[in-house]
Structure formats: structure tokens, C-alpha cells
Chains A and B, each alone.
Chain A
Amino acid sequence: EIVMTQSPATLSVSPGERATLSCRASQSIGTKLFWYQQIPGQSPRLLIYDASTRATGIPARFSGSGSGTEFSLTISSLQSEDFAVYHCQQYNDWPRTFGQGTKVDIK
């Protein structure tokens, strides 16, 4: 099973600042990676697929990069609605696996 490790567990950021979240795979997954945003009480919302392609309707301040085992999600200038939990998921192999999540909260 591919283990996905996200860091940090919590990231405290001021509105308007840049945030960079990391996701590491235990073996190469190419670019078969999703990033999701989840606001408490809601279903996850897809932000990025194929490691770097923004999903429909996702603002340009969200960007994804990486390949192989190292990936990152960058939010260029945090807005109030971006304070949430972010999850990465690999879809290169079965079973599909998620990271444990990174909570972005207000500094």
C-alpha cells in the first residue's frame, strides 16, 4: 500500500499570506495526485488533479506541483474562505490512499 504523508499537520497563516502544503508518497505515483479542500461539516471539494491541473471553477491562487514522490499545494494569497483542511490522495495504484490532512488556520 502506498502511504501518503502530509506536512505540516497544522499551518497557521495570516490572511493575504502565502501557504505551502506538502504531500509525500512512499513510492512513485507519477502525477496521479488529487488535492481536496474540506470545510468542517461539508464534503471535500476537488482543487487539483494530475498533481497540477486546477479543477473546474478553482481560483488561480491555488496551484499544485510535483511528481514522483514529492508534491506541494500552494495558496498564493490566503482568503478567509481558504481556512480549511486540505487532503492529498494518490490514484496511481490500489488501494487508493489519502494523507492525514493539513489544517490551515488563522494566525
Chain B
Amino acid sequence: EVLLVESGGGLVQPGGSLRLSCAASGFSFRSFGMHWVRQAPGKGLEWTSYVTESGSTTYYADSVKGRFTISRDNAKNSLNLQMNSLRADDTAVYFCVRGGTEGHWGQGTLVIVSS
């Protein structure tokens, strides 16, 4: 069974940093690109970032470019999202999503940016 478990969310002040992680199991992690998708409270889904299977190439939404960094550790089956210069509008549930057409999502981790 494919399992994606996010962690690292919490309350952080504006301008602060947070590092999210996603532990993957049940599949060959190194064979799939991975995404982070977020959802602000009561709002729609927003794609934020993607990393290729090897980690060599990344893509970002304009809203997070220059502030967020997606990375992966294939030896540890782990996906990460380093979030810097956080703003109130980054408040959201952050989902880890496996690439491809099988639709595997984690349960999400909540990030609240507030003073």
C-alpha cells in the first residue's frame, strides 16, 4: 500500500521558516517525481512545487519561488519542503503528492503563519 505521511507543520511567525517532510512507503520512491500542493482554509487547491525522480530538476509556483525549496532523499524515502520568509497567505494544509496518474496524496500537515 502506498503511504505518504507529512510532518513538520505548526505555528510560525511571519518572516520565519519551517521545514516540512513527507515519509513515503509502499512503492519505489526513487521512481516517481513528487509534488507539494497546499490548500488554504476554506479555499481551493494550489500546486506549489515539484521535484523529479533524481532530484536534479525542480519547478515552483510563482507565489513561492525564491522562498521555498523542494528536495528529496531517495536513500531515506523522504521528500522535504524548506519554507523561508513565510507570510500569512502561506497558511494552509500542505499535501505531499506522488507524481503520475494514480493519485496518491498524504493526509496533509497544517502550517499557520501568524504573530
> In the bound complex, do residue B102 and residue A55 qualify as a contact, i.e. CB atoms below 8 Å apart?
yes
In chain A, positions 1-27 with a C-beta closer than 8 Å to chain B are 1
Residues of B within 8 A of A1 (CB): 62
> In the bound complex, do residue B103 and residue A89 qualify as a contact, i.e. CB atoms below 8 Å apart?
no
Does residue B73 face the partner (Cβ distance < 8 Å to A)?
A: no
Tell me which of B50, B62, B105 contacts A96 (CB under 8 A): B50
Give the number of A-B contacts (CB < 8 Å).
Answer: 50
Instruction: Knowing A43-B95, A95-B60, A95-B62, say if A101 contacts B103 (CB, 8 Å).
Output: no
Counting chain B residues whose Cβ lies within 8 A of the other chain, the interface size class is 10 to 19
In the assembled complex, how far is the CB of residue B95 from the closest CB belonging to chain A, in whole angstroms?
6
Does residue A29 face the partner (Cβ distance < 8 Å to B)?
A: no
| Cα–Cα distance between A96 and B108 once the two chains are bound (Å) | 19
> In the bound complex, do residue A56 and residue B102 qualify as a contact, i.e. CB atoms below 8 Å apart?
yes
Instruction: Knowing A99-B44, A101-B44, A101-B45, say if A46 contacts B103 (CB, 8 Å).
Output: yes
> Among B44, B45, B106, which residue has the most Cβ atoms of chain A within 10 A?
B45
Instruction: Knowing A43-B95, A94-B59, A98-B47, say if A55 contacts B35 (CB, 8 Å).
Output: no
Instruction: Knowing A1-B62, A43-B106, say if A50 contacts B101 (CB, 8 Å).
Output: yes
> In the bound complex, do residue A55 and residue B103 qualify as a contact, i.e. CB atoms below 8 Å apart?
yes
Instruction: Knowing A1-B62, A43-B95, A96-B35, say if A55 contacts B101 (CB, 8 Å).
Output: yes
In the assembled complex, how far is the CB of residue A41 from the closest CB belonging to chain B, in whole angstroms?
10
Counting chain A residues whose Cβ lies within 8 A of the other chain, the interface size class is 20 to 34
Residues of B within 8 A of A44 (CB): 45, 95, 103, 105
> In the bound complex, do residue A100 and residue B44 qualify as a contact, i.e. CB atoms below 8 Å apart?
yes
> In the bound complex, do residue B61 and residue A43 qualify as a contact, i.e. CB atoms below 8 Å apart?
no
> In the bound complex, do residue A34 and residue B103 qualify as a contact, i.e. CB atoms below 8 Å apart?
yes
| Cα–Cα distance between A87 and B101 once the two chains are bound (Å) | 15
In the assembled complex, how far is the CB of residue B53 from the closest CB belonging to chain A, in whole angstroms?
16
Residues of A within 8 A of B44 (CB): 87, 98-101
In the A-B complex, list the 9 residue pairs whose CB atoms are closest, starting with the nearest: A46-B103, A96-B47, A49-B101, A43-B105, A98-B45, A101-B44, A94-B59, A100-B44, A95-B61
Residues of B within 8 A of A (CB): 35, 44-47, 50, 59-62, 95, 101-103, 105-108
